Amino acid sequence: VPSETWPLIAVVAVAVALVASLVALMRGRELGRLSAGNNGNRAAPPAVDKPGYFREELLRLADAAEIGLLRVGEHGRIELANETAHGLLARSDGGLLGLSPIGAFVDHRIDELLRQAASLGSPQLELEARADPQRTLLIRARRDEGGTWLIIRDLTELRRLQRIRAEFIDNLSHELRTPLTTVRLLTETLATELERTEVLPPRIRDAIVKIDVESGHLVQMVNELLDLARIEGGEAPLRTDEVDLGTVIDSALERLRLYAERQDVRLHAELPAEAQERTIVGDEERLEQLLINLIHNAVKFSPSDGEVAIRLGPREDEVLIEVEDHGVGIPRADIERIFERFYKVDRARVRGAGGTGLGLAIARHIAERHGGRIWASSEEGTGSTLSVLLPRGPAMHSPIDL
Ligand code: ADP
């Protein structure tokens, strides 16, 4: 290479180096900007990472679902509450924060609920809204680390619909009762006439007997519907007094004697001789209704030539009544459910027309209103025993607020 070309090569090399570094610099900037972009995001992290973001999101979500949500911290003060909770508890925005739960709900039972939440999982409480007693609120408490969540639902609409349903059933049964009573009277007259006359063809005779039986069922159904609507609506307060359960059982048996005879079932009672052992404080009429429902079922599900036993046994502070039959029995899967309204095991198993499925729902209400309980034990094909345990003294509390 001629010596005079060296400077030229040097200039070119310097130029190339310059261009290269310039390009590198620009790419660097570009990368820098890109990463600056990312860094920019990282420098202002998404709200998801902000402490409390999830909680705020939860409160908003609960608002959207119209559920009141608030949180009581370890120090026993409300530390979070959504808009719905403020609305339901009639506080202006933020007004719940810092309050004690009693201060917020103005109901001492809320403290008990919070205590239960520590041991019981998810207890709940129904109460009237402070600002508007027409409003019914359901409060559920759930404990977790560092505090307790209170979930508030407005039950006003549900309760209103339940009231409408009860009123509807009540009205309907009243309306049905009058014409049914007339039909009953007429068929009874016809049935008496039947005994006196021989001229009627058997076909008509049968029809009259059937009308008599079926209208009897209808009257029973309507009466049960009416009873249940009243008991559930809290409209039938107990009239308590000293009651001799022996007398009540005798009277129930007397009323069912004819029915049992027709079904060819014998009724048999075992009662303690001592009047004191048979006596409790309760509502005589309701207790008779409970017994009639149990004995009626026992007869209904018994075979011909069957026997139903009613036993009364004193326990320490309680009295146990058992109604035992040797009939079809109750399948294991249904045994818990037979006390639900309208629940029936299987229509096909009943001799003659079935009932409403209300009898045991009513019986359970009556037992529980007396502070007692009712249950069934049974083996399919062998028979059933329905048991009622009633406290001797007046009921300390009733699950239905009257
Ligand atoms: P129902 O009017 O149908 O008798 P209940 O509420 O009295 O209504 O009873 C509910 C259901 O429980 C009955 O339909 C029947 O399937 C079952 N059940 C009640 N008592 C007995 C019994 N003693 N033996 C067998 N099944 C019974």
Per-residue model confidence as pLDDT tens digits over 254-308: 999 999 999 999 999 999 999 889 999 999 999 999 999 999 999 999 999 999 9
What is the per-residue pLDDT for 48? 54
List ligand 1's pocket residues with C-beta within 6 A: 293, 297-298, 301, 325, 327-330, 338, 343-345, 354-361, 384
Q: What span, in angstroms and rounded, lies between the C-alpha atoms of 129 and 137?
A: 6
- Residue 351 pLDDT exceeds 70: no
Q: Which ligand 1 atom sits closest to the C-alpha of 328? A: 25
Mutate to test the pocket of ligand 1, among 222, 267, 297 (most ligand atoms within 8 A of CB): 297
Helices first, then strands: H and E counts in the chain = 11, 12
- Residue 399 pLDDT exceeds 50: no
Q: Which residue has the higher pLDDT, 349 or 36?
A: 349
- Interval 359-397: pLDDT, tens: 999 999 999 989 999 999 999 999 999 999 999 876 544
Q: Which of 66-80, 198-212, 331-345, 371-385 has the lowest mean pLDDT?
A: 198-212
pLDDT band of 80, cuts 50, 70, 90: very high
What is the per-residue pLDDT for 35? 47
Q: How far is the CA of 201 from the centre of ligand 1 (A)?
A: 37
What the block records as the tokens of 30 is 């570009």
Question: DSSP letter at 207?
Answer: H
Q: Whose CA is nearest to atom 7 of ligand 1?
A: 359
CA proximity to 395, closest of 318, 288, 314: 318
What is the per-residue pLDDT for 205? 85
Q: Find out whether 122 and 138 touch, Cβ atoms under 8 Å.
A: no
**Coil/strand/helix, residue 113:** helix
Q: Find out whether 322 and 385 touch, Cβ atoms under 8 Å.
A: yes
Q: Find out whether 295 and 332 touch, Cβ atoms under 8 Å.
A: no
Residue recorded with tokens 């339901």: 88
- 29-33, 51-55, 195-199 — which one is most confidently predicted on average? 195-199
Give CA 150 to chain center in angstroms. Answer: 20
- Interval 91-128: pLDDT, tens: 999 999 999 999 999 999 999 999 988 887 788 898 98
pLDDT band of 49, cuts 50, 70, 90: low
The residue-averaged pLDDT of 215-224 equals 85
Mean pLDDT of the chain: 85
Q: How far is the CA of 213 from the centre of ligand 1 (A)?
A: 19
Q: Find out whether 231 and 366 touch, Cβ atoms under 8 Å.
A: yes
CA distances from 363 to 298, 358, 370 (A): 14, 9, 11
What is the per-residue pLDDT for 212? 86
Contacts 24+ apart (CB under 8 A), 108-115: 110/139, 113/139, 113/141, 114/72, 114/141, 114/148
- Residue 247 pLDDT exceeds 90: yes
What the block records as the tokens of 274 is 């001592």
Q: What span, in angstroms and rounded, lies between the C-alpha atoms of 105 and 156?
A: 17
The residue-averaged pLDDT of 21-41 equals 54
**Coil/strand/helix, residue 346:** coil
Q: How far is the CA of 223 from the centre of ligand 1 (A)?
A: 17
Strand partners, 152: 68, 139
Q: Find out whether 72 and 150 touch, Cβ atoms under 8 Å.
A: yes
Q: What span, in angstroms and rounded, lies between the C-alpha atoms of 26 and 398?
A: 84
Residue recorded with tokens 């309306």: 175
What the block records as the tokens of 115 is 């205590």
Q: What span, in angstroms and rounded, lies between the C-alpha atoms of 238 and 284?
A: 9
Q: Which of 106-120, 148-162, 307-321, 342-356 has the lowest mean pLDDT?
A: 342-356
- Residue 40 pLDDT exceeds 70: no
Q: Whose CA is nearest to atom 25 of ligand 1?
A: 329
Q: Which ligand 1 atom sits closest to the C-alpha of 343? A: 10
The residue-averaged pLDDT of 164-192 equals 87
CA proximity to 351, closest of 287, 278, 264: 264
